[in-house]
Structure 1
Amino acid sequence: MVDDARYVRAYNGKNSRWYQAEVKQRPWRITVGGMAKEVNFEPEDNAINARIDGAYRQKYSDSPYLNSMISTRARSATVKVIPR
């Protein structure tokens, strides 16, 4: 695990529909394990991306999607999930 924070990435980078919606809509409501929470997303800098890439490499080492998940395009759209 990277740390106690939660991070998400838009697989298709900043041009993806999900990322574009995230930029425009605040707050978001997400549901995890049957529990709904309002959250904000905070863009992350490059410092955390290497650690996130390492976690992806460890978890998805056999996935044909790994390279896309750790690409520069996806890294540019890494955000931290912040509960409200």
Structure 2
Amino acid sequence: MSWTREIINKINQSTTIQNQPFDENKTPLQDIPLWVVTINNHIYLRAGKGKESKWYQAGIKNGGQIKVDGQIFKINYRPVTDKAEEQNVTKAYLEKYHGQYPIDMMISPTCANATVELIQR
């Protein structure tokens, strides 16, 4: 299932989204507000602590959900392994969050290596 233009627009107007990866029992972990970017109809997140982040590990393993404008969307987290795609996400972060703290961390190699695309279920 692909994201609607309406949801993409709402995400583009938001600074953060509420990210809730699932634990092993498919119970949402705590709400984690994260910076979010889009490229065309694709939605991306990055883990501030890299691949060691608890939410990153749980999300890759168990899926999760996000909240956008009061709506909940079940998602899978697809690790981004293509370096060109990763660089495009870095550019999107720079465009959207230029001058904000902690942009330097979010474009660092550690965070870039922990980029995921959100795939709607």
Q: TM-score range by the shorter chain?
A: 0.7 to 0.9
Looking at both structures, which has the greater relative contact order when contacts are Cα pairs under 8 Å and sequence separation is at least 6? 1
Task: Specify which of 47, 69, 74 is matched with residue 33 of structure 1.
Answer: 69
Q: Distance in 2 between the 1:71 and 1:52 partners? A: 12
Look up the match of 1:42: 78
Runs (5+) with no aligned partner, structure 2:
1-37
- What RMSD, in angstroms, separates the aligned Cα atoms of the two structures? 1.4
3-state SS of paired residue (1:62): coil
Q: Distance in 1 between the 2:70 and 2:58 partners? A: 23
* Identical counterparts, % of pairs: 35
Q: Which moved more, 1:13-22 or 1:57-66?
A: 57-66
Runs of 4+ in 1 over 2 A off after TM superposition: none
| TM, length-normalised to structure 1 | 0.86
Task: Specify which of 57, 61, 73 is matched with residue 98 of structure 2.
Answer: 61
For residue 62 of structure 2, what is the amino acid of its counterpart?
A: Q
Is the Cα–Cα contact under 8 Å of residues 59 and 77 in structure 2 kept in the other structure? yes
Q: How many residues align?
A: 83
| TM, length-normalised to structure 2 | 0.62
Q: Distance in 2 between the 1:62 and 1:37 partners? A: 30
Q: Give per-residue Cα distances to partners, 1:7-62, cap 9 Å, x unaligned.
A: 11101100011112112323x12221111121111111222111111111122221
3-state SS of paired residue (1:63): coil
Q: Distance in 2 between the 1:47 and 1:36 partners? A: 30
